Chain A
Amino acid sequence: MNSLSDISLELLIPESIMIIGILTMILIPNLGDAKIRIPLTNTSVPVFIGGTRFTQVNNPFIPSIVAIITFTLSFFMSLIMLQGAKNGEIGQIMEVNQFTTLFSLIFTSALLMTSIATFYRMPPKQNPEIPQDKDTESSASAKIRILMNNRRQVDFYILLLMVGLGMCLMSKSTHLFLLFVCLELASLSSYVLVGFYKESDIGGEAGTKYFIVGSVASAIGIYGMSLLYLWNGNLQIDSLTSSWSTMENLDPFAGIGVGLMLVAFGFKVGAAPFHLATPDAYSGASSPIAGLLATASKAMGFVAIMKILLIITSPEEGVEAYWFIAIALISVITMTWGNFAALTSVNPKRMLAYSSVAHAGYMLAAIAAIGSGLGDYNSNVLIITALIFHLTILVLFKFGAFLVLTLLENEGLTHNMDGLKGLTRRDPVIAISMFIFMLSLAGIPPLSGFLSKLLMINGIVNVSAGTGSVSSATVLTWMTSVNVVFWLALSIVINSAISLFYYLRVGLLMFFEEPVVEGPLAKSIYLRITIIACAIFTLLLGIGPLSESLLEIANEAAQSLL
């Protein structure tokens, strides 16, 4: 048995920092001048917890500052670990390698951006007034609302840190049980975060809907996991993998178990037909949280899917995985449904939600290409590299778009496209950044969105284009002989053409329509810097040396996954 001392904590530094962050956040606002009198004497000893708060800790901004510092620290610690290639096992349930560290980096960066955005999005009032007897009913309730708003800062950021903790641990776990627990830790916190949008009625509704659908999906997943346990007697990923590869015929328990678990993870990534709660949740949540769901939460779902499909049930070369046709179908349905639904959305957050559904479809198509069993080890690594690269840069341009919406949200205009109207006239820098994000989402070169889409199509074409019969002399005979995977590449292409409509429409609104609200946007200096940095990195990671080094990191991560 492993004792606690065997666990090398240095591999868990980012997570430890988050735990310390949570503790600090609980402690600091409670520091005060409370004293305890030693019995039978007159001497009082200060205990610092309780009593009247010190003025320094009375600042309602403290939780957000603590969160930002925590995420920054764990971001840089992950970066250092990635540079130093610090790998190893922790107990028998966790493993740290390049893959998990890269994903910790993705999660913490998304969370860091969320906490910077909420710093401006839900600002507390300094020195709020306490209601007096002479106040009228309405003014008293207004004052109470301000007080409550200040109070909830701590709740919000603790939940945010919980999400981070769950996600980072989840990517490291090599045991399905731990994986599920961490996933649920992150999910449950994110359900509450969705409902945290208290300015609007739909916040609570969205949170409830997301929670109900999400918990049903989790329940199905746990049922699947129990079937797997029944089959194997052990939920260790290694042991499952070896049992799976020695299994002669598909065991119904194993097959159904994996299928049911896919339902839970399919819900996380927003794959059709489990995506129906996604647009409601995104549009009901405040923009930073919606951005978090679209990037980090989706990356988490994909980590789980990769662990299940590509490690446990990984197809041998030349043998089609049993889930291949199902995933291929789901991917085509997902991308088509997402794009067509996005075409008709008038709410920018809904539009981005559906576009994120469509992107999930593209990524599932890449996973289906691995499932076809056509590719060798190298081509599979290439496809996973494309997936990881895509999930990484998604944090830049998808989150960037949500950050722009965050800026607009302070004016209360994100439930329709009104806020985006005439943005070029009001704030050209932000508008151009938004245009860059939209073009990158559509996959226009030389932006990074293009490179990731290219790599994904690349991977699919790579495994499939060689399958058509070499002797076929005409186009038709070749088209009938080629493996069905090749058509996934074409469906991605057609779908990206459809998606151009709604991405460009945002550009049209920003360039053309008369602004509904005059005057420049809110100052929010750090938020602005973040948005501009996202736009610049979207450009830089598309072509040139930076994209090269990110590709290499993603490639190493992909190799350490397989």
Chain B
Amino acid sequence: MNLDILTILTLVPIITGLMLIILPQLLPKEMATNLKIITRNISMGIALAMFAIATMMFIGTIGNVEWTDILHGEYVLKNEQFSLISSIGVQWKVGADALSFPMIWLTSLLIPISMLVEWDAKRGHIFHPLILIMEGALLGVFVSLDLFIFYVFWELTLIPMFLLILLWGGEDRKYAAMKFFIYTFTASVFMLIGILVMYFHTTPIPGLGSMTGHHFDLVQMSLQDNLIPSEGLRHFVWILLLIGFATKMPSVPVHTWLPDAHVQAPTAGSMLLAGVMLKMGAYGFLRIAVTIFPESTIIFIPLLIFLGMASLVYGAWVCMGQTNLKRMVAYSSVSHMGLIFLGIATMQPLGIAGALFMMFAHGVISPLLFAVAGAFKHHYHTLEIGSMRGIAHHSPYLSGHMMLGWMASLGLPLMAGFVAEVAILIAFWMSFGWLVMLPALTLIITATYYLTSMQRTIFESNDPNQGILPDTLHGENPRDVTWHENTGMFILGIFTIIFGIFPFIFWDMMSVWSTQFMTDIMIDAMENVNVWSPSMDWISEVFK
């Protein structure tokens, strides 16, 4: 079997991560001690190599792919057919397109940065390999084109994250880890039933599924006309899938695991959780639910708008009342994820491209926010917003990063988040008219809580030369960020600005893909069902 590049990208981190954990148990004591010392360097080396491969794939050095030419339904860098459990139709099938590639690149970028930010983690000989395993599982979700493998990787991401929260988390970590695991696992077993119903409506393809006559191949499923004949069942399956994906995203009302998990998780865990794991929900929703059941998606547009709007408004509203920095950032993630649902609900190429870019931009910005929050926890031992003031005086670098991150997240122009927000709002206006006032006005709330928390933390001390330090320092001198935290945050900040000024780096492939996606799938579906459009005539009457 010729190993293709995506398989290598997925399996190498998992295998090396496992080896780095297991090897010290088997080696003699002295060698094991030596190995433990250099474990983090090896992990970082592998993570950087993965990032280099992903970047070379992007430039075209590997695979020679022209990313802006990829239309919906085409997958590049595919592997040769290789069946894993052929009697029930499971095969190893990977591929990338414009929907998954930005996520793949983002994952491979965030892994070395999160390792760097927690370079000095306790028990680093387990910590860094666990993050490597996490990388493999996350990449596996984005590259797999077989629903069985997809589900396996989907659940596999839980285990390293569970252990990361459990072993390196805050005081209430047990509760948070259990809640995280049970919440998301429960949701994804509902998704599993949906997948199984789809599985039982597939027609056989030769050489696969000798025992059952069905297969898990996602590409074949999306090609099959009318996968599930019964319309009611189709909607039911769509809802089962939505339960799984919306919980991962997370959307109100199934978001409550997120703040707990974030507050207790170690910094690197939070960065990966917010940066990539939340995007798994949006990715899966677009890849499976919307692609295979476009008509159900159109029928349930009001539900999507309701969920998106509820997450957006409620998340932002709750943020204003938070006193814990990390909790606030976590709720702001909920709020931003709401925009993704709104972008999909517009059923405009611009809206879907905006949702895709939102996934990407939020994946760059939110790790920066969590790195800042983690640094506060690390150096000031507290996350209470009111307890420290005028930090800019003591930690100028940290304050600078905080300012950049906070500004990027509230949607300042020339930063990555702005592009996505504007695209989604324009598309929303095109589809639903004056209803756009609701999400647009929510951005004011966003600005309010970000600016308030920033002002109270890094400025606003009464003495120009002396900030107010929290009690948790016990009179120690406050420190600024360490070099590795500084570097990590700096890289993220740079990328935030780069993708704000030159969004077309990824925007082009996304917009080509989503335009094609609309014309291929959605236009047909829209002809079959009535598209919901809000009756907003009375507003236009008012404005006349």
> In the complex, how many angstroms separate the beta carbon of A540 from the nearest chain B beta carbon?
12
Choice from B90, B158, B200, B232 contacting A473 with Cβ under 8 Å: B232
Asked if B166 and A508 sit within 8 Å, CB to CB, the answer is: yes
B459-488 interface code vs A (CB 8 A; 1 in, 0 out): 000000000000000000000000000000
From B185, B196, B201, B235, contact of A458 by CB (8 A):
B196
- Chain B nearest CB from A359 CB (Å) reads 16
**Nearest CB in chain A to that of B237: its residue:** A465
CB-CB contacts below 8 Å: B180-231 with A = 181-182, 185-186, 189-190, 192-193, 196-197, 199-201, 211-213, 229-231
Task: Name A410-461 residues within 8 Å CB distance of B.
Answer: 428-429, 439, 444-446, 450-451, 454-455, 457-458, 461
Interface presence of B178 (CB below 8 A): yes
B77 is an interface residue with CB less than 8 A from chain A: no
Q: How far is the CA of A312 from the CA of B25 in the complex (A)?
A: 54
- Pairwise interchain contact A457-B236, C-beta atoms closer than 8 A: no
Q: Is the CB of A552 within 8 A of B192?
A: no
Q: How far is the CB of A239 from chain B (nearest CB, A)?
A: 32
The yes or no answer to B56 lying at the interface (CB within 8 A) is: no
Supposing A473-B231, A474-B235, A497-B186 touch, asked if A445 and B193 sit within 8 A by C-beta, the answer is no
A512: CB under 8 A from chain B?
Answer: yes
Contact A478 B232, beta carbon cutoff 8 Å: yes
Which listed residue, A468, A507, A508, A544, touches B232 by the CB 8 Å rule?
Answer: A468
Distance of A378 Cα from B212 Cα, bound (Å): 8
Stretch from A6-14, A364-372, A488-496, A522-530 that touches the partner: A488-496
Report how far A503 CA is from B25 CA in the complex, Å. 25
Of the candidates A465, A497, A505, which one forms a contact with B200 in the assembled complex, judged by CB atoms under 8 Å apart?
A465
Tell me, yes or no, whether A504 is within 8 Å of chain B by CB: yes
Asked whether A141 is an interface residue with its Cβ less than 8 Å from the other chain, the reply is: no
B 61-88 binary contact with A (CB < 8 Å = 1; else 0): 0000000000000000000000011111
Interface check A114, CB cutoff 8 A? no
Complex CA gap A552/B189 in Å reads: 26
Complex interface: chain A residues within 8 A of B201 (CB): 465
A477 within 8 A of B: yes
Please tell me if the beta carbons of B197 and A478 are within 8 angstroms of each other in the complex.
Answer: no
Contact A478 B233 (CB under 8 A): yes
User: Which of B149-157, B326-334, B493-501 binds A?
Assistant: B149-157
Residue total for A at the interface (Cβ-Cβ under 8 A): 55
Contacts of B230 in A (CB 8 A): 468-472, 478
Asked whether any CB of chain A lies closer than 8 Å to the CB of B27, the reply is no
- Max chain B Cβ within 10 angstroms of own Cβ: one of A378, A479, A482, A507: A507
Chain A residues with CB under 8 A of B185: 444, 497, 500
Number of interface residues of B (CB under 8 A): 44
Contacts of B197 in A (CB 8 A): 461, 465
CB-CB under 8 A from B167, the residues of chain A are 511
Residues of A361-389 at the interface with B, using a CB-CB cut-off of 8 Å, are 378, 382, 385
Q: A472-B232, A474-B232, A497-B182 are in contact. Are A428 and B25 (CB under 8 A)?
A: yes
0 or 1 for each of A517-551: is its CB under 8 Å from B? (1 = yes) = 00000000000000000000000000111011001
CA distance A482 to B236 in the complex (A): 11
B203 to chain A, nearest CB (A): 14
Name the one of B86, B181, B193, B211 contacting A555, with C-beta atoms under 8 angstroms. B211
Complex contacts, A439 vs chain B, CB 8 Å:
159
Q: B389-404: which residues lie under 8 A (CB-CB) from chain A? A: none
CB contact list, B230-249 vs A, under 8 A: 230-233, 235-236, 239
Which chain A residues border B88 with CB–CB below 8 Å? 455, 458, 551
- Within the assembled complex, what's the spacing in Å between the Cα atoms of A511 and B168? 11
Complex Cα distance, B25 from A543, in Å, reads 25
Residue B174 is within 8 A (CB to CB) of chain A in the complex: yes
Q: Is the interface of B mostly helix, strand, loop or mixed?
A: helix
Distance to closest chain B CB from A502 (angstroms): 11
Q: Tell me if A1 counts as interface (CB < 8 A to partner B).
A: no
Say yes or no for A475: interface residue by CB 8 A criterion: yes
Give bound CA distance, A59 to B52, whole Å: 65
Nearest CB in chain B: distance from A535 CB, A? 12
Select one of A465, A474, A544 contacting B85, CB under 8 A.
A544
Contact B84 A544 (CB under 8 A): yes
> Which residues from chain B contact A497 at a C-beta distance below 8 Å?
182, 185-186, 189
Q: Residue B196 contacts which of A451, A461, A482 (CB distance < 8 angstroms)? A: A461
Contact between A478 and B235, CB atoms less than 8 A apart:
yes
Say yes or no: is A76 at the interface (Cβ < 8 Å to chain B): no
B156 contacts which chain A residues (CB < 8 A)? 445-446
* Chain B residue nearest in CB terms to A549: B87
Q: Which residues of B contact A454 (CB under 8 A)?
A: 192, 196
Q: Are B192 and A493 in contact (CB under 8 A)?
A: yes
A470 contacts B229, CB within 8 Å?
A: yes
Checking A469, A496, A552 against B87 with a beta-carbon cut-off of 8 angstroms, the contacting residue is A552
Q: Chain A: which residue is nearest B21 at the CB level? A: A432
Q: Does A462 interact with chain B (Cβ within 8 Å)?
A: yes
- CA–CA, A187 and B233, complex, Å: 46
Q: Is the CB of B196 within 8 A of A457?
A: yes
Give chain A residues whose Cβ lies under 8 Å from the Cβ of B166.
507-508, 511-512
Q: Is A322 interfacial (CB-CB < 8 Å)?
A: no
B527 → chain A closest CB, angstroms: 17
Tell me the bound Cα distance from A555 to B235 in angstroms.
33
Of B90, B152, B174, which contacts A512 at CB under 8 A?
A: B174
Q: How far is the CB of B214 from chain A (nearest CB, A)?
A: 9
Q: Mark B509-541, 1 if CB is under 8 A from A, else 0.
A: 000000000000000000000000000000000
Chain B residues whose C-beta falls within 8 Å of the C-beta of A481 in the assembled complex:
232
Least distance between A357 CB and chain B CB atoms (Å)? 20
A551 CA to B87 CA in the complex, in Å? 8
Residue picked from B87, B174, B229, most chain A C-beta under 10 Å:
B87
Chain B residue nearest to A543 (CB atoms) is B84
Q: Using Cβ atoms and an 8 Å threshold, which residues of chain A touch B87? A: 548, 551-552, 555
Chain B residues lying within 8 Å of A512, measured Cβ to Cβ, are 166, 174
Contact (Cβ within 8 A) A385 B235? no
**Inter-chain contacts of A504 with B (CB < 8 A):** 162, 178, 181-182
How many angstroms from the CA of A481 to the CA of B230 in the assembled complex? 11
B182 / chain A contacts, CB cutoff of 8 Å: 497, 500-501, 504
Q: Point out the residues of chain B lying under 8 angstroms from A446, CB to CB.
A: 152, 156
Assembled-state Cα–Cα distance A489/B236 (Å) = 14
Shortest Cβ distance from A103 into chain B, in angstroms?
20
Q: Given the complex of chains A and B, what is the CA–CA distance between A210 and B88 in angstroms?
A: 40
Knowing A445-B151, A462-B200, A465-B197 touch, does A478 contact B236 (C-beta < 8 A)? yes
Chain B: minimal CB distance from A306 (Å): 19
Complex Cα distance, B186 from A494, in Å, reads: 7
Residues from chain B with a CB closer than 8 A to the CB of A544 are 84-85
Which of A378, A385, A461, A471 gathers the greatest number of chain B CB atoms within 10 Å? A461
- In the bound complex, do residue A489 and residue B186 qualify as a contact, i.e. CB atoms below 8 Å apart? no
How far is the CB of A427 from the nearest CB of chain B, in Å? 10
Whole-angstrom distance from the CB of A196 to the nearest CB of chain B?
A: 35
Most buried by B among A455, A465, A473, A545: A465
Q: How far is the CB of A346 from chain B (nearest CB, A)?
A: 17
Are A475 and B174 interface neighbours, CB within 8 A? no
B-chain residues with CB within 8 Å of residue A471 when the two chains form the complex: 230-231
Contacts of A547 on B, CB cut-off 8 Å? Answer: 85
- Nearest-neighbor residue (CB-CB) of B163 within chain A: A511
Q: Smallest Cβ distance from B156 to chain A, in angstroms?
A: 7
A543 touches B211 (CB 8 A): no
Q: Please list 14 pairs of residues, one from A and one from B, whose beta carbons are closer than 8 Å in the complex, sorted by A's number.
A: A444-B159, A445-B152, A475-B235, A478-B236, A479-B232, A482-B233, A489-B196, A504-B182, A507-B166, A511-B167, A543-B85, A547-B85, A552-B87, A552-B211
Knowing that A457-B196, A508-B178, A551-B88 are A-B contacts, what are 4 other residue pairs whose CB atoms are under 8 Å apart, sorted by A's residue number? Answer: A454-B196, A465-B197, A472-B231, A543-B152
**Chain A interface residues toward B at CB < 8 A:** 378, 382, 385, 428-429, 439, 444-446, 450-451, 454-455, 457-458, 461-462, 465-466, 468-479, 481-482, 489-490, 493-494, 496-497, 500-501, 504-505, 507-508, 511-512, 543-545, 547-548, 551-552, 555
Q: 3 nearest interchain CB pairs? A: A478-B232, A472-B232, A497-B186
